[in-house]
Amino acid sequence: MIVSFVKPMLCKLLAKPFDGKDFIFEQKIDGIRIIAVKDSDRVWLWTRNRLDRSKQFPEITEAVKNLSAQQLILDGEVAVAHKTASSFQAIQPRVQQTSPQAIAKLARSVPVVYFAFDLLHLNGKDCKKLPLIQRKDILRRIVGGKIKFLPFISRTGKSLFAKAKKLGWEGIVGKRKNSKYIPGKRGKDWVKIKTHLNQELVIVGYTKGQGKVAGTFGALLVGYYQRDKLKFAGEAGTGYTDAERRQLKILMDKHKATRSPFFSTPQVKNTTWLKPILVGQFKFAEWTKDNLLRAPVYLGLRNDKSAHDVKKE
């Protein structure tokens, strides 16, 4: 039996796109990072914090099972694919469901695909030490159906970034052609450049709702870890549907805390504090000079990420 869980290799955030003869560039998919593992007739779809999503995405589980290889480990993203861009918000209903009936219905109404961009293991052979470009060549030949090979281009990161902005992609990823796959590592071999600012943040409290939102909450208080201490990043009061507000309130109230989890408690009135467990995705205009978010907007929950792994990018 092969090892069923591998930590994904991570990307370092860069501010600007670049060209490089030693690099390939590909679309940054806006979905759920998944390590897909097949061992004979068994399949796991692991998130970064070791949650198996094979039941949430039965069509991807079946597609991996139907690949001709007896054993393999793939790295990629499960996403709701549109003609030009993927959407993290669109995949949210799929991630939250546990009911088999609801999952089966959503598989029809919100279909997903798996964009495979790396191969870690194939039929008893550890592929992680092979050069990236060789791993991709093998990967291209073994995937099919709902397991899509993520295309790439060589050298010209600037032109792909311009295309990304035009088509509404989240960004691009650059990878050194001869790089090895090092689980859990974030370094210079893999880099990402975003077309707009967004990142995951820890949800650590909420303010009292007023008016139309009096029954739920006003804004979420969010933060990130720096040297094992939780730092305040601001309040996010927009981006929620009415249904999301109700669902979040129920979920958050399961994690109430008696005091602030921050190292330095912000002065925010009418606050209910939470244990630092929940993680959300937010887009925003910029980081202020005080390291606070300007104009943050909620995009959805990140059940695939551990709160303690959330750092400022």
Q: What are phi and psi of 116, to 5 degrees?
A: -85, 130
Confidence at 264, pLDDT banded by 50, 70, 90: confident
Average pLDDT over residues 271-289: 95
Domain around 63: 30-149
Residues 160 and 23 occupy one common structural domain: yes
Residues 250 and 205 occupy one common structural domain: yes
Assess if residue 185 is contained within a domain.
yes
**pLDDT tens digit string along 182-228?**
999 998 999 999 998 899 999 999 999 999 999 999 999 999 999 89
Residues 173 and 223 occupy one common structural domain: no
Average pLDDT over residues 259-287: 92
Assess if residue 2 is contained within a domain.
no
Residues 145 and 220 occupy one common structural domain: no
Q: Is 244 helix (H, G, I), strand (E, B) or coil?
A: helix
Assess if residue 128 is contained within a domain.
yes
pLDDT given for residue 84 in this prediction: 65
Q: What are phi and psi of 77, to 5 degrees?
A: -130, 135
pLDDT given for residue 82 in this prediction: 67
Assess if residue 87 is contained within a domain.
yes
CATH number of the domain that 136 lies in?
A: 3.30.470.30
Assess if residue 1 is contained within a domain.
no
* Gap between the Cα atoms of 13 and 293, Å rounded: 17
pLDDT given for residue 83 in this prediction: 60
pLDDT given for residue 93 in this prediction: 85
Residues 134 and 208 occupy one common structural domain: no
pLDDT given for residue 97 in this prediction: 85
Count: domains in the chain: 3
Residues 47 and 145 occupy one common structural domain: yes
| pTM, entire model | 0.85
pLDDT given for residue 98 in this prediction: 87
List, in sequence order, the alpha helices (H) in the chain.
Answer: 58-65, 88-96, 100-109, 132-142, 157-167, 242-252
Residue identified by tokens 């109404």 is: 109
**Final residue in a domain of this structure, among 88, 117, 149:** 149
Q: Is 232 helix (H, G, I), strand (E, B) or coil?
A: strand
Residues 111 and 220 occupy one common structural domain: no
* Gap between the Cα atoms of 30 and 32, Å rounded: 7
Residues 35 and 110 occupy one common structural domain: yes
Residues 163 and 115 occupy one common structural domain: no
Assess if residue 218 is contained within a domain.
yes
* Gap between the Cα atoms of 220 and 205, Å rounded: 6
Burial of 184 (0-12, 13-18, 19+ CB in 10 A): exposed
Q: What is the mean pLDDT of the chain?
A: 94
Is residue 192 within 8 Å of 171, Cβ to Cβ?
Answer: yes
Instruction: Measure Cα distances from 214 to 151, 206, 207, 217 in Å.
Output: 47, 12, 10, 6
* Gap between the Cα atoms of 82 and 12, Å rounded: 26
Length of the chain: 313
DSSP code of 168? T
**pLDDT tens digit string along 123-160?**
999 999 999 999 999 999 999 999 999 999 999 999 99
**pLDDT tens digit string along 75-87?**
999 999 766 667 7
Distance from the first to the final alpha carbon of the chain: 37
